[in-house]
Amino acid sequence: MKNEEKLIIYQVFTRLFGNNNSGCINNGDIHTNGCGKMADFTPKALKEIKKLGTTHIWYTGVIEHATQTDYSAYHIHPDHPAIVKGKAGSPYAIKDYYDIDPDIATRVPERMKEFEQLVARTHKAGLKVIIDFVPNHVARQYHSDAQPDGTVELGANDDMTCSFSPYNNFYYIPQSELRGQFDMKAGADEAYKEYPAKATGNNRFDAYPNISDWYETIKLNYGVDYQNGGTCSFSPIPDTWLKMLDILLFWSSKQVDAFRCDMAEMVPVEFWEWAIPQVKEAYPHLLFIAEVYNPDEYHNYLQRGRFDYLYDKVGLYDTLRNVSCGYDSATAITRSWQNLGGIEKRMLNFLENHDEQRIASDFFVGNPYKAIPALIVSACMNTNPMMIYFGQEFGEMGMDTEGFSGRDGRTTIFDYWSVDTIRRWRNEGTFDGKLLTKEQKSIYALYRTILTIASQEKAIAQGLFFDLMYANQNGWRFNEHKQYTFLRKYNNELLFIAVNFDNQPVDVAINIPSHAFDFLQIPQMDVYKATDLLTGKVEEICLLPYKATEFSIGTYGGKILKIKL
């Protein structure tokens, strides 16, 4: 699979983006704290997002999910508060696979039309659209108000006397009532009732989920009998497979460009092997990105499951986080990509997303500048996609105590809230930067430069990669624990990239082995003019196998030296 374009993905939590309320209160409802809308993604907003080098926007949380906000006036069945996390609810507790979340609509009855307009606006801005597909679990009170004619609701024909049947959409605990180990009333007059109890989304097959479980969700049945050794019943095709294919085709028809598939490894690979080719036959341009955390399953979900890209969480993300925090050596970066065994071009790189702690939070490095070396490595070391999370480009700290989401260094996905840096940047939709601090402007300028380089330089988007670390162990003027260096090349353009994870500037002397000259076909020369793409400054360097290349790198900095061969 070859992409001429390097994907730069901007993940944005849709309901938080446009919320201008600077006075949100802990656990406030939608009326007190407010809520952003799809309409906040104006042509101006999209143009500004594109300036980062962005190619794709992942609109997180657009499909209708369980909430404590009452939309019964619009014929949407209310959810019991005991099984909704936070006032706004989790975007991964899907309540209606065929509908748009009413929170993000300006006019609730027009919510699907507003989504279609958002997709059209995004495309007009030269950007592509990613949405979530959440296949493993749904909200406990799943009910579709928008079910298309000719389709049957999940669970409608289930035999609830069976704990498992390939014809069922859910797993049941027969003759047992749900006895959650959490507040089953949560302020309501009556406790939440579920009989028979259904298995919980994180593979909990009893009636007693607790507060640390995905208690607000129920597990979907793809034909795997987990309680009896994981035996599979895939023939005839399980009913859930057919229903989920219909859902994928429904959203594909809305002109989206990609699906980010939540917890894809909790759904059998056989389903993906069956479904993805059918979707791509009708919509060949569609991309499928899988959230998979088990490296032993990577090849399986790429090759057999037909995914285009996988999250690189337990590899590069964890490694760069540890190196940035000083817990690991920069030599671990080499081990990280080598451990992928040739699939590194199929991994999605990131330093933040909705699940992870913010870089600038007290729980990560506490300073957005400290992650700039990691950003350069993540964005520039291969041709694969790079993703950032909205606010990351301004050093958003994520240190609010929002409600259900405590002060944990993450931006809430459960509460009605407003994101300080995004609100400052938007400035009532003007995007004039007047409310941003000097540091926020500085961080943004770095992100915009690095991501634009990653998306526009062919040596990064399409070129070859050569890791120089093996030739620089115990170097004369190179600390392999605090610096990382590599080459990228396309035709007659060479990028010499080096980063410094140290808290002080360094003068480095980097060895380029003979094999690099042969592999990349680099002409040896004592003096080359090199332009640092990060600053525009020109310097002279040598490219020789018997003489180290010398230059300086700033504190928590990097160099991307471009050389015309």
Q: Is residue 433 part of a domain?
A: yes
Q: What is the CATH number of the domain that holds 228?
A: 3.20.20.80
Q: Is residue 148 part of a domain?
A: no
Residues 488 and 444 in one domain: no
For every one of its 565 residues, what pLDDT tens digit does the chain have, with 9 covering 90 and above? 445 789 999 999 999 999 999 999 999 999 999 999 999 999 999 999 999 999 999 999 999 999 999 999 999 999 999 999 999 999 999 999 999 999 999 999 999 999 999 999 999 999 999 999 999 999 999 999 999 999 999 999 999 999 999 999 999 999 999 999 999 999 999 999 999 999 999 999 999 999 999 999 999 999 999 999 999 999 999 999 999 999 999 999 999 999 999 999 999 999 999 999 999 999 999 999 999 999 999 999 999 999 999 999 999 999 999 999 999 999 999 999 999 999 999 999 999 999 999 999 999 999 999 999 999 999 999 999 999 999 999 999 999 999 999 999 999 999 999 999 999 999 999 999 999 999 999 999 999 999 999 999 999 999 999 999 999 998 789 999 999 999 999 999 999 999 999 999 999 999 999 999 999 999 999 999 999 999 999 999 999 999 999 999 999 999 999 999 9
| Cβ–Cβ < 8 Å for 545, 515 | no
Percent of the chain as helix, strand, coil, to the nearest 5: 30, 20, 50
Residues 438 and 559 in one domain: no
Q: Is residue 205 part of a domain?
A: no
Residues 469 and 443 in one domain: no
Residues 123 and 269 in one domain: yes
Q: Is residue 518 part of a domain?
A: yes
Residues 312 and 251 in one domain: yes
CA distance 145 to 143: 6
Residues 359 and 478 in one domain: no
Q: Is residue 368 part of a domain?
A: yes
Residues 522 and 385 in one domain: no
CA distance 438 to 228: 60
Q: Is residue 161 part of a domain?
A: no
Q: Is residue 435 part of a domain?
A: yes
Report the DSSP beta bridge partners of residue 309: 289
Cis peptide, bond prior to residue 196, ω within 30 of zero: yes
Residues 388 and 484 in one domain: no
pTM: 0.97
* Beta-strand pair 483-490/506-510: unpaired
Of the candidates 430, 456, 482, which is a domain's last residue?
456
Residue appearing with tokens 């990105």: 289
Structural domain boundaries, residue 362: 8-63+100-136+220-456
Residues 369 and 475 in one domain: no
Name the 3-class secondary structure at 331.
helix
| Cβ–Cβ < 8 Å for 257, 268 | no
Residues 440 and 475 in one domain: no
Of the candidates 441, 456, 471, which is a domain's last residue?
456
* Token pair recorded at residue 273: 């092997």
Residues 125 and 271 in one domain: yes
Q: What is the CATH number of the domain that holds 560?
A: 2.60.40.1180
End-to-end CA distance of the chain: 28
Q: Is residue 194 part of a domain?
A: no
Number of domains making up the chain: 2
